Structure 1
Amino acid sequence: MRTYLANRWFRIGFWLAVLGWSPLLAIVLLAAVGLWPDPNPNPIGPGLLFFFSFWPAVALMGLGAFQVRRGR
């Protein structure tokens, strides 16, 4: 994992995923546990953030993984 995180493209994709996906995943997790005020939330903002950050993050991490596997 350390070699992947040394690659700039993979690192950018990783942080994009962390920042883009964590709000929605946190709301889903907190609602499932019962700590969110609404038991059936409809988080539009975090959902849109997840939607617009998913494929760029996956593409950047894939590009970085490809470069690491190729030996760059």
Structure 2
Amino acid sequence: MIVTGKWMLLAGLLLLVLGCGPLLLFIVADALGLVTDPDPNPIGLGLLAFVSFWPGVILTAIGLARRRR
């Protein structure tokens, strides 16, 4: 089965949103004062973002290149 550019693009964007989204939401919640911890340390969310960011970017770039071709 050949993976098309559309599916690679969607997979990359989904990986970016699901991988980096929780950390970004936590950062926004902390900036708004919704987090009660005075010194929050979201290590789990940071590791999730670290592991998923570059694969998501690479899949998105490949998907865009295949869609363009």
Deviations 1:15-71 (A, max 9, x none): 11111011100110000011111243210000000000000000000000001111x
Number of residue-to-residue matches in the alignment? 65
- Aligned CA-pair RMSD: 1.3
Aligned: 1:64 with 2:53: no
Superposition map of 1:36-51 within 5 A: 36-51=35-50
Structure 1 gaps, min length 5? 1-5
User: TM (normalized to structure 2)?
Assistant: 0.87
Q: Check 1:13–1:67 CA distance in 2 against 1; reply closer, same or farther (3 A cut).
A: same
Aligned: 1:15 with 2:14: yes
| Residues 17 and 54, structure 1, Cα contact 8 Å, conserved in 2 | yes
User: TM (normalized to structure 1)?
Assistant: 0.84
* 2:32 aligned partner: 33
SS where residue 12 of structure 2 aligns? helix
Distance 1:18 1:54 in 2: 9
Which amino acid in the other structure matches residue 50 of structure 2?
F
Q: Check 1:39–1:28 CA distance in 2 against 1; reply closer, same or farther (3 A cut).
A: farther
SS where residue 7 of structure 1 aligns? helix
